[in-house]
Amino acid sequence: MRTMNNTPFHKCKSVLNKPDLTECFQNTVLVWFPCVYLWLLAPFYALKLYCHDCGCIRISTLCTAKTVLGFLLASFGFVEFFYILLERSHEIQNHMVFLLSPIIRSLTVVLAICIIQLERIRGCRSSVFLFLFWVLAVVCSLVPLRNITLFSMVYGRSSRCDDTGTNILSVCMTDNPCPVKDASFLSKMLFWWFTGLVVKGYQPITIYVLSVCLFSRQEKTMAAGVALGTRLPDQAQILRKLQKEQSSGFCLLRTLARNFGPYFLTGTMCIIFHDFFMFAIPQVLSLLLGFMNEEDAPLWKGYFYATLMFLLSCLQSLFNHQYMYTCFTVGMRVKTAVMGLVYRKSLVINSASRRTCTVGEIVNLVSADTQKLMDFVVYFNAVWLAPIEIALCLFFLWQHLGPSALAGIATVILIFPLNGFIAKKRSKLQVQMKFMDGRIKLMNEILNGIKILKFYAWEKAFLEQVLGYREKELKALKKSQILYSISIASFNSSTFLIAFAMFGVYVLIDDKNVLDAQKVFVSMALINILKTPLSQLPFAMSTTMQAIVSLKRLGKYLCSEELKDDNVAKAPLNGEGVLIDNGTFSWTKEGPPCLKRINVCVPQGSLVAVVGHVGSGKSSLLSAMLGETEKRSGSVSIKGSVAYVPQQAWIQNATVQDNVMFGREKQKTWYQRVLDACALLPDLEILPAGDSTEIGEKGLNLSGGQKQRVSLARAVYRKADVYLLDDPLSAVDAHVGQHIFDKVIGPKGVLRDKTRVLVTHGMSFLPQADLILVLVDGEITESGSYQELLSRQGAFADFIRMFASNDRKESVTETAAQRGRTSFFFLPFHILTGVCQFLATDCLFVLPQVRLEMYMEYFKTIGMAFIIPIVFLYAFQQGASLAYNYWLSLWADEPIVNGTQVDTDMKLAVYGALGFAQGIAIFGTTVAISVGGIIASRHLHMDLLKNVLHSPMSFFETTPSGNLLNRFAKEIDAIDCMIPDGLKMMLGYLFKLMEVCIIVMLATPFAAVVILPLAILYAFVQSFYVATSCQLRRLESVSRSPIYTHFNETVQGASVIRAFGEQHRFIVQANKRVDFNQTSYFPRFVATRWLAVNLEFVGNGVVLAAAILSVMGKDTLSPGIVGLAVSHSLQVTGILSWIVRSWTDVENNIVSVERVKEYADTAKEAVWTVEGSSLPLAWPQTGTIEFQDYGLQYRKGLDWALKGITLKIQEREKVGIVGRTGAGKSSLALGIFRILEAAKGEIYIDGVNIAEIGLHDLRSRITIIPQDPVLFSGSLRMNLDPFDTYTDEEIWSSLELAHLKNFVSNLPDKLNYECSEGGENLSLGQRQLVCLARALLRKTKILVLDEATAAVDLETDTLIQSTIRQQFEDCTVLTIAHRLNTIMDYTRVIVMDKGHISEMDSPTNLISNRGQFYRMCREAGLV
């Protein structure tokens, strides 16, 4: 079989001008190669299918078509076999190959059909194995097809054309563009499965509809699969390991590598193949330029080189994007896994560690730090691969330019330390993150305590604090950006610098060294390749540095101390419900004990009351029983399950029903019984949707009493064995409190058989307690039944005698600043999974493109003075680049005289001058854009901050803080960094593209015919992409806010979640929110890959056009101009991708400008100060208040909260305001402070109409002690006097009057004592006293008390009341009554009913009139 027609079978059978393969080769190697591939690997593939059964797939039309076509193809082989046997039998003896080939081919096709069926049975939807077989079969059939076609054209007959046609058809049939799970191999490689969603995203639809499209289609399966498959197998075990090793970030990195490393390695393989094809292209370019120099070279060589260059470019693109896809998928999985770890950690972290990291910092960990880890995964390979790529480039350059390549190495070595130094300096400037953390932490507190800020007119002080952080953050950012600009200038000039050094040394060391086209442009192509690793390496190193910082931060948090499992033993006890044996407890390991020598034995089914002064350790005792404190010594045991009601009710942003059931199944009868017992049925009747009404974030639309009753109902519904109740009756009416005690807690309540530990200040409940514990300074001084303690004649007996009479005559009147608002601020509950759950404003109708106004808004804030020079600098920079490249082509075409070129020094000088001019221009443009970006960012942040702080309270009650925090964190970060970086990149590549197009058309004007349709195709593809990408960006943005809201909620309610043992359910909820966000993010990066693959094929079309047209114009074109055109066209693919990617980045991030600006149009409060106001400095001097036909509505169209109030309060008058729930008591206070503006009528203070003065002028001159005591993180002094207007003596004096002097004197830093976030390191009563100290410090002529003593014990209440009577004797005092006995000596009492005054007189007269006030006093036992 060696010869056929006397020609060796492996050699070409024609002359070099028309190369061809022998018939023998065609009938053996080309037929057998795909067959051998299939037969050899089929057994291994069958074994793999056998081991991985995914369930049988039913027979589809496509499967049937493939099978029929397969049998048709096999039958052609058998027909050919019989035809040869009959018609060419004389040739068979010499050439058996003719007979064997069709049989082998047919049997192989039958095997392929069997594999198709086996795949169907084992549930394999897409087969790479068969795809490669069909591709091999088609490629091997193309040569015989060409010969048969030529033969037919000459002899007019065809032979096996049907065979090849059917082969091609079979390949086409295997490609089935569909979502990724069902996509074929080719569809996965080219991302065609994504096209359906791109078309969907182009249509103008709402985000919600897009999310439905996204998840109703099969993309959901993949996206959710990618996201859900990312959970680390046992997070609790990993957290324990991190805790044990204390190795900060290293153990975390190792764990992530072990879980996600194998998939990451497949991406690494792709990038290695990409590099192979990338380095092959310059070698082919060298051959093409060599061909252009040969005068008698056959044209087929040129066409072959041009086609080969095109194919190599396509393969390079494919492998590059598969690598990027794999890395982003791994990065996404890493991000999800770490978010899960951080969330789980937040549920087990102990109180000491919790105080060191605020909610803002935890939010930053899950937003910024996890993103940095994701970036690290994407760019990590560049750290080790870039040096190898640089070495290979320099090796090939050595081959072309010899030792002169060392000059290039020297340049690289000079550039490297510079960029290394810059990267190091920039990593030091990461302090910007510290300032950002501080700013976000402060913003979180401002949003949580916004009501206090408004009551005290403190917005300006906190605005200045936020701006202080912001200025430091921007200062660090500016330094970082200037350093980055030097870095960018050195990268972008690196091509020129290396070329200048190498060519300069090459021509100067020897006159005989000439630069021809081959040397110049192959070197330039290699230098362009070199530019990628040079630019990637510093970025990869910087990303790695940032990731290390983030890993340390995450590691530090994940290694922080946790609650010990052995703090509370759950062992079954003999008759005791709770047992503490000689326990000493503290909040931190090093700190002083908060409870000492505690011995408690609570019999099963008994009611234990815990009493004591403010700060005596009552709440700490319950925390010790829950295992929340640090156990120094002793033991704690609890029998059975636990339910806990905290002192400050923790309410979820969910329906009333969800809050009560708290993850349990609904038992209708029991549920109704619980609501009735907790006195919630009357409240549910006034809610718009009953128990399906959604409660706002932190229970914003409930009064204090309602929140407490919902919190209690949650515990009762649980049917637990032990109930720990931390003063649940402090915020409710007396009659409601009595009802709850009788129906729930007391001896006849629903919990009568349960073990109950009740912290209380209410003396009336104590006689019914089985055991009373008296706490003083963290020790139990007395314990026993009520009668036992009275008979001992101890401190408790004195306390009871002193306050019992008062207590019998007291009434708790439930109120809250939100009370009258109850009917409005309940939000209808829509269960729109994830997206629309949190805010109607985030479910906007969105157009495909971002509105032009947003760009105008952004550029307007930068200013035209910046923009025009930037555009000129870019034009100059690219003009210089075009000039030096064209100059180089002219130099390459310079004729060689006596083996040398003339004027090389002058040519080198011109080349150098143009290159250096470009470098300076690059630095100028990048610095200008960075500075412009910072100017815009500063203005936009300032506007956002002012807009938010000028918003009325109603805005904060309907806008979740997670959404606002997201604006200040993620969106501002995008405006700071992402938009300027995107603009730099977009403008740079846009001008570069113009340069390439000019060069290609300069060389081959006919290329315009190809470039124009490619440009139209490009515009078409990118318009689809940009629209979809922006939609997905919005969807991802909207789905991100609920993550932060949920994190915030969880951290604040961690103790409740732990007490109820609901950690697992909350982890699942958090995972769902993160997954939903990731299912929006996954299509975003797939869209980028889809675009890049499609665009790079367009770019490769430009390469093919430039090369083919250059070959066609061989006789007229010089090698220099061809080298210039082809080497530049090779850059088009990258340029096109980067233009659209950077444009999309800008489009995506300009959405942040849109989201930051959206609060500019919301309703605002009146101005803070009125310019030129004639208000006296000492106003109000007397403190008279006059209401004239005053009316108040929470919103137009709603019922009047107050109607026709006409009232005059004289100076120094003490007025008590009482009434049932919703009567309008708090609405009066809100009206005086203009938290709500009057709907009709006026209020005059000292004769001045308060509607005509600035809000701060009003609020800073009157004082309120609110129901909820709010403190901010910072010093105690800052909490009392944020403006630094009072001396230390005045502050100490106010603390003494507030009965806090002894406490503060014993603190380590005294006035500089750091309060933790929300003042969590002070008890609730102490916080209330700090609020009293604030009022005493301001000492204004008008004081409003809104349930100011709800959280303090009776003794402290008496002290506060006496202080108020003495210190505010010459002031007007309005008290929204909490305990009726406190207002019995007031000048007047106003009884409110349904928004109007029903009675008003002195308490004595009202009692003698026997009206509504009399009835209230009779209920309280006062008459």
Read out DSSP for 1297-1363?
A: HTT-HHHHHTSTTGGGPEE-GGGTTS-HHHHHHHHHHHHHHH--SEEEEESTTTTS-HHHHHHHHHH
What is the C-alpha separation between 1205 and 797, in angstroms, rounded?
46
- Beta-sheet pairing, 1342-1346 with 630-638: unpaired
Whether the CB-CB separation of 1059 and 276 falls below 8 Å is answered with: no
Global pTM? 0.68
Alpha helices in 734-863 (DSSP H): 734-740, 786-791, 795-808, 822-825, 852-862
- pLDDT at 173 (0 to 100): 40
Query: Which residues, in sequence order, are CB contacts of 150 under 8 Å at separation 6+?
Result: none
Whether the CB-CB separation of 169 and 797 falls below 8 Å is answered with: no
Whether the CB-CB separation of 703 and 649 falls below 8 Å is answered with: no
What is the C-alpha separation between 649 and 655, in angstroms, rounded?
15
H or E segment and range at residue 75 = helix 61-87
- pLDDT at 2 (0 to 100): 42
Give the chain's length: 1423
Three-state DSSP at 596 gives strand
Three-state DSSP at 927 gives helix
**HSE of 775 in the Cβ direction (CA atoms, 13 Å)?**
28
Query: Which residues, in sequence order, are CB contacts of 1001 under 8 Å at separation 6+?
Result: 1007, 1008, 1011
Q: Hey, how many other C-beta atoms are within 10 angstroms of the C-beta on 1318?
A: 21
Tokens of 1147: 């489009």
What is the C-alpha separation between 277 and 323, in angstroms, rounded?
14
Report cis status (omega within 30 of 0) of the bond before 298. no
- Beta-sheet pairing, 1314-1315 with 642-645: unpaired
- Beta-sheet pairing, 1240-1245 with 1185-1193: antiparallel
Q: Sign of torsion, CA 1036 1038 1041 1043?
A: negative
What is the C-alpha separation between 448 and 962, in angstroms, rounded?
11
Burial class (CB within 10 angstroms; exposed 0-12, middle 13-18, buried 19+) of 1174: exposed
Quote the strand ranges of 173-275, DSSP E. Answer: none
Tokens of 313: 């470019």
- pLDDT at 1197 (0 to 100): 67
Burial class (CB within 10 angstroms; exposed 0-12, middle 13-18, buried 19+) of 59: exposed
Segment 523-554, tens digit of pLDDT: 888 888 887 787 777 778 878 888 888 888 88
- pLDDT at 814 (0 to 100): 37
- pLDDT at 1259 (0 to 100): 85
DSSP string, 993-1015: HHHHHHHHHHH-TTHHHHHHHHH
Burial class (CB within 10 angstroms; exposed 0-12, middle 13-18, buried 19+) of 915: buried
Whether the CB-CB separation of 807 and 814 falls below 8 Å is answered with: no
The parts of the chain modelled with pLDDT lower than 50 are: 1-16, 155-178, 205-230, 805-849
Residue 463 CA: distances (Å) to CA of 78, 450, 514, 866:
86, 12, 68, 29
- pLDDT at 591 (0 to 100): 77
Whether the CB-CB separation of 769 and 1360 falls below 8 Å is answered with: no
Q: Hey, how many other C-beta atoms are within 10 angstroms of the C-beta on 392?
A: 17
- pLDDT at 95 (0 to 100): 55
Three-state DSSP at 236 gives helix
Residue 38 CA: distances (Å) to CA of 45, 70, 343, 875:
10, 15, 50, 57
Quote the strand ranges of 979-1082, DSSP E. Answer: none
- The residues with which 1390 forms a beta bridge, in sequence order, are 1217, 1400
Whether the CB-CB separation of 339 and 366 falls below 8 Å is answered with: yes
- pLDDT at 14 (0 to 100): 41
What is the C-alpha separation between 658 and 651, in angstroms, rounded?
10
Torsion angle defined by CA atoms of residues 1062, 1063, 1067 and 1073, in that order, rounded to the nearest 10 degrees: 50
- Beta-sheet pairing, 1248-1249 with 1240-1245: antiparallel
Over its C-alpha atoms, the chain yields an Rg (Å, rounded) of: 40
Torsion angle defined by CA atoms of residues 614, 807, 1218 and 1221, in that order, rounded to the nearest 10 degrees: 80
Say which residue the tokens 């976000």 belong to.
Answer: 440
Three-state DSSP at 1224 gives coil
What is the C-alpha separation between 892 and 890, in angstroms, rounded?
5
- pLDDT at 1317 (0 to 100): 74
